[in-house]
């Protein structure tokens, strides 16, 4: 189904998963609208993509997804600049965190605001556009950690991603009989700067190439929900959701 999605907006596009997804979609000839807080990184990425893929359109905007008014304005501007939007990938997120009650509420509140409230702002802006045009594909990047609350410094991160997953499930059900498709991605450990800072298990971590290849393939198929990359993470997803807590406690 992905062949009809030719105008794609990606947030959090200046690094990590967002940056690599932009490269993959540009190589497919898609017109891109890229957002992040770091405009200089976006400018460098835009230059790289245009050189590597002559003729591709790349529009960029600085955006802090915690500013709802800015999200609505920027999505509208990018829609107009590209002459429409077929797909919006809600990817912007952070991985700060500390044990709750340890005096670092600032880190936990920042993660909750960006990962959930920021995702909600993006969904609001995207669906306002999609409802008006009566079609579109909303992609929410959640996490395998949405399956089960993680202890310690990852507690709020996992909770924020659970909120994103629940939002995706709700919207997919609501819009099931329309031409607006909602996909929730639940990546496991994929090698990025954020993953390295979070201390993710290196033996369990997929390469950026493997991880983003799986994400792009899933996005193009437009399922309701996809745990990835590979059978390993689909298995972990099922285990975390369905096994008793006595067993899953040992996994986290």
- From the CA atom positions of the chain, what is the Rg in Å? 17
Pick the catalytic residue: 116, 130, 157, 189? 157
The stretches of the chain forming alpha helices (DSSP H) are: 16-27, 39-52, 68-82, 105-112, 118-133, 155-174, 193-198, 208-221, 230-242, 245-251
Structural tokens at position 91: 């990817």
> DSSP state, 202?
G
DSSP class per residue in 31-78 = EEEEEES-HHHHHHHHHHHHHHSTT--EEEEE--TT-HHHHHHHHHHH
Rounded Cα–Cα distance for residues 162 and 146 (Å) = 4
178 neighbors 163 (Cβ within 8 angstroms): no
135 noted as active-site residue: no
Residues marked active site are found at 157
């Amino acid at each position: 189904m992905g062949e009809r999605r030719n105008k794609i907006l990606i947030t959090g596009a200046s690094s990590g998963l967002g940056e690599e997804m932009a490269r993959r979609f540009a190589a497919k000839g898609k017109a891109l609208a890229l957002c992040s807080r770091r405009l200089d990184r976006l400018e460098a990425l835009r230059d790289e993509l245009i050189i590597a893929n002559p003729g591709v359109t790349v529009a960029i905007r600085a955006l802090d997804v915690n500013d709802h008014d800015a999200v609505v304005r920027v999505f509208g501007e990018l829609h107009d600049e590209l002459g429409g939007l077929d797909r919006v990938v809600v990817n912007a997120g952070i991985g700060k965190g500390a044990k709750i009650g340890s005096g670092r509420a600032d880190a936990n509140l920042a993660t909750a605001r960006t990962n959930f409230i920021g995702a909600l702002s993006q969904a609001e802006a995207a669906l306002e556009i999609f409802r008006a045009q009566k079609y579109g594909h909303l992609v929410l990047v959640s996490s395998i950690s949405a399956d089960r609350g993680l202890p310690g410094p990852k507690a709020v991160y996992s909770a924020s991603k659970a909120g994103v997953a629940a939002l995706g499930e709700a919207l997919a059900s609501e819009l099931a009989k329309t031409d607006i498709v909602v996909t929730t991605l639940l990546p496991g450990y994929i090698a990025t700067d954020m993953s390295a800072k979070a201390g993710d298990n290196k033996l369990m971590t997929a390469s950026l190439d493997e991880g983003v290849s799986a994400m792009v393939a899933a996005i193009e198929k437009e399922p309701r929900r996809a745990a990835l990359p590979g059978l390993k993470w689909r298995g972990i997803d099922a285990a975390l959701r369905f096994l008793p807590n006595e067993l899953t406690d040992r996994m986290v």
